[in-house]
Copies of this chain bind each other. A is one copy, B any other.
Amino acid sequence: MTPHAGPDVRAGAVHPWTVRVYWEDTDAGGIVYYANYLKFFERARTEWLRTLGLQQQALRQTSGGMFVVGEAQVRYLQPARLDDLLRIETRITALGRATVTLEQKAHRQDPDGLTLLCEGRVRIGWVQGPSLRPARLPEAVVRALGTAADMEQESR
């Protein structure tokens, strides 16, 4: 299996999360600085994981491991500005033994609808211990993610 979902992978449900654009997010161009979408995406992933019962601080204390990002791809379509309300969508598209791949989108949430601003794909792995050596996802994590994704787990 490739880290990115093939056509036969039934992707998980979309998890929506909302955030406002504050001064800190913008730059002198008057728009959200490009790296900050990765912050929005990470916050949304954290909240998505929490809906699955996974709290990363607790996970780390019990398992000694943590998620790390292995790859991120982002396309910037339209700029966001101060005070915009953004809807960040997170959707699992592939689950392997050692990695999870997510599709994430940032929309501007206007009274009359959504405008897609930015979309990305993020592949996340698991590392163990102080050495941060790559490792298989803990069973509990796989179970939680697999359930959420409502898709067959694939070996990788």
CB of A64 to closest CB in B, whole Å? 12
Chain A binding site: helix, strand, loop or mixed by DSSP? mixed
- Of the four ranges (under 10, 10 to 19, 20 to 34, 35 or more), the interface on chain A belongs to 35 or more
The residue in A23, A24, A38 that gathers the most chain B C-beta atoms within 10 A of its C-beta is A23
Q: Does A51 contact B (CB under 8 A)?
A: no
With beta carbons under 8 angstroms apart, the residue of B30, B68, B82 that contacts A56 is B82
Q: Does A31 contact B (CB under 8 A)?
A: yes
Nearest opposing residue in chain B for A34, CB measure: B69
Report if A31-B71 is in contact (Cβ < 8 Å); known contacts: A24-B39, A46-B22, A57-B81.
no
Report if A42-B28 is in contact (Cβ < 8 Å); known contacts: A70-B75, A70-B76, A83-B56.
no
A: residues with CB less than 8 A from B are 20, 22-24, 26-31, 33-36, 38-39, 42-43, 46-47, 55-58, 66, 68-76, 79, 81-83, 132
